[in-house]
Amino acid sequence: MKVLYFAWLRERTGTAEEQIELPEAVKTGMDLMLWLKQRDEGYDYAFEDPDLIRIAADQEHVEADADITQAREVAFFPPMTGG
């Protein structure tokens, strides 16, 4: 699965994108965030407040509890503001 990070998530994780093997226990966007938090301090900092983070699976916005097991791409980004 390709995982993309935008804005301050990219800065905190130190990467814009990566390929991962989705662990069997990871089923939802929230599961993925919690799994990523365990990788190192940067990921822990990036995902310290999961309620602020928006998720897209295959370029469609999804809720944190949505099943992502069939997604080819998951993107994480902060809330967007309009103007």
> DSSP 3-state assignment of 42?
helix
- The verdict on residue 70 lying in a domain is yes
76 token code pair: 């994480």
Query: Which CATH number goes with the domain that contains 28?
Result: 3.10.20.30
Contacts of 27 (CB under 8 A, 6+ apart): 67, 68, 69
- The verdict on residue 82 lying in a domain is no
> DSSP 3-state assignment of 50?
helix
Position 74, amino acid = V
- The structural domain count of the chain equals 1
Rounded Cα gap, residues 43 and 35, in angstroms:
9
Chunked into runs of 10 residues, the chain (83 residues) has average pLDDT values of 97 97 96 97 96 96 97 94 55
Range of the structural domain that residue 64 is part of: 2-77
Position 43, amino acid = Y
What is the model's pLDDT at position 82? 56
What is the model's pLDDT at position 32? 98
- The verdict on residue 83 lying in a domain is no
What is the model's pLDDT at position 81? 58
